[in-house]
Structure 1
Amino acid sequence: MTHAREAGIKRIRPSQFHGTVGLQDWRVLGEGACAYFRTGSFAAGARLVQAIGELPGVGSGHPDVDLRHEGVTVRLIAITDDYYGLTERHVELARRISDVARTLDIPADPSAVQTVQVTVDALVAPDVVPFWRALLGYRDRANSGEDLIDPHRRGAPFYFQHMDAPRPQRNRVHVDVWVPYDQAEARTAAALDAGGRLVDDADAPSNRVLADPEGNEACVGVAGWTGPDAGRP
């Protein structure tokens, strides 16, 4: 596996990606820049995937492409020994993919993308992480002893959050849902309308802690748009 810095690839933050003109189809989530294209049929989706595969230089961007009957999801993220995130290369690739979709008359739906992450609170993460790494068949994320990722990039990532003291009256595993920056308010409201309650919004809008009627917690997060960047990458 290569090193991002050694390969001369300039890293960028989510806010830089979102601040670039021509990327309105894309949203940065916890797992990179994502776009969803509503094809309406498997055949139309296959044509889009083929067109993406024929783009010049697409191999260097390593896009993850998920083809389903209803549409195609594309994720752009650099995964190297020392970096897990976005690079300048992804900006131009995202533009080209959107151009291809428009040529095929396939609309994008930025509201349809999301990333789900499982977070485990741990007193001593180095004692806990090896168990989950072996159990899941995952591997460490670049430069991190507290993040595990699926090497096949299919399963939800696991994050191990430091806990200063035991919390026997509170759950220690929760789900993080990363949504587009312009969907966070609506997603939070929907969860509250469905019986949830707001636990903590001190870090809003980048992160809100919610709980279901029995106290099981979940977080709604967004990656940076304006102000400080939030989340990973």
Structure 2
Amino acid sequence: MRLITITQDYYGLTERNAELARRISAVARKLGALAVPSAVQTVQVTVDVLVGRAVIPFWRALLGYQDRANSPEDLIDPQRRAAPFYFQQMDTPRRQRNRVHIDVWVPYDQAEARIAAAIAAGGRLVTDAHAPSHWVLADAEGNEACVGVAGWTGPEPSRS
């Protein structure tokens, strides 16, 4: 089963989704089924762009995706099965950094374990300046990924 919130203004895993997953897991336990709350997540691919209108049509055609309503910087799978693509506007090219990264949202109580596992697997913490909404990690070659908290309701962080 996949739980995700898709509205005109939001695509991702909310706290409501995480709570519903916990309830489903509790029922599954009572029925003897295996519950794995640590597997609750949603993933987004983020592409840094200088001129979004120049690259978004390519990705839309290549992926067979469509524009997300009211969000010209997002493309989504019309079948809602694959990760959305977000095109993050940059003012200048990034030097020494990747231009594509993965965003992974997990429930708040899973974030610390996910970050620790990624670091133990050879990653490193780039910044926790936006915590607790999200942390930026990197692999051994410096390719970045963000771990975000599902349903974060604090101040809107800048996307990194």
TM-score, normalisation: structure 1 = 0.56
Question: For the residues of structure 2 that align with 1:229 and 1:109, how far apart are their CA atoms?
Answer: 29
How far 1:197 moved relative to its partner?
Answer: 1.4
**1:75 paired to 2:9:** no
**1:130 paired to 2:57:** yes
Relative distance call for 1:213 and 1:107 in structure 2 (3 A) is closer
**1:189 paired to 2:116:** yes
2:84 corresponds in structure 1 to: 157
Relative distance call for 1:123 and 1:196 in structure 2 (3 A) is same
1:173 corresponds in structure 2 to: 100
Question: For the residues of structure 2 that align with 1:131 and 1:106, how far apart are their CA atoms?
Answer: 43
Relative distance call for 1:183 and 1:135 in structure 2 (3 A) is same
Instruction: Please tell me whether the aligned partners of residues 133 and 152 of structure 2 are also in contact (alpha carbons under 8 angstroms).
Output: no
Residue 77 of structure 1 aligns to which amino acid in structure 2?
A: T
Question: For the residues of structure 2 that align with 1:84 and 1:226, how far apart are their CA atoms?
Answer: 13
Instruction: Please tell me whether the aligned partners of residues 223 and 230 of structure 1 are also in contact (alpha carbons under 8 angstroms).
Output: no
Relative distance call for 1:165 and 1:143 in structure 2 (3 A) is same
2:42 corresponds in structure 1 to: 115
| Structure of larger gyration radius | 1
Relative distance call for 1:139 and 1:176 in structure 2 (3 A) is same
Instruction: Please tell me whether the aligned partners of residues 119 and 176 of structure 1 are also in contact (alpha carbons under 8 angstroms).
Output: yes
2:148 corresponds in structure 1 to: 221
Residue 113 of structure 1 aligns to which amino acid in structure 2?
A: V
Coordinate RMSD, CA, aligned: 2.8
Partner of 1:202, secondary structure, is: coil
Unpaired stretches in structure 1, ≥5 consecutive residues: 1-72
How far 1:204 moved relative to its partner?
Answer: 0.9
Question: For the residues of structure 2 that align with 1:168 and 1:216, how far apart are their CA atoms?
Answer: 12
Question: For the residues of structure 2 that align with 1:125 and 1:74, how far apart are their CA atoms?
Answer: 30
How far 1:108 moved relative to its partner?
Answer: 3.7
Instruction: Please tell me whether the aligned partners of residues 222 and 230 of structure 1 are also in contact (alpha carbons under 8 angstroms).
Output: no
How far 1:104 moved relative to its partner?
Answer: 4.0
Relative distance call for 1:105 and 1:196 in structure 2 (3 A) is closer
Instruction: Please tell me whether the aligned partners of residues 4 and 42 of structure 2 are also in contact (alpha carbons under 8 angstroms).
Output: no
Relative distance call for 1:173 and 1:105 in structure 2 (3 A) is same
TM-score, normalisation: structure 2 = 0.79
Question: For the residues of structure 2 that align with 1:161 and 1:109, how far apart are their CA atoms?
Answer: 32
Instruction: Please tell me whether the aligned partners of residues 202 and 208 of structure 1 are also in contact (alpha carbons under 8 angstroms).
Output: yes
Instruction: Please tell me whether the aligned partners of residues 84 and 141 of structure 1 are also in contact (alpha carbons under 8 angstroms).
Output: no
Residue 89 of structure 2 aligns to which amino acid in structure 1?
A: H
> Among the aligned pairs, what percent are the same residue?
69
Question: For the residues of structure 2 that align with 1:169 and 1:76, how far apart are their CA atoms?
Answer: 34
Show CA shifts across 1:75-119 (max 9, x none): 14345xx45459xxx88xx49x73864674545432111112110
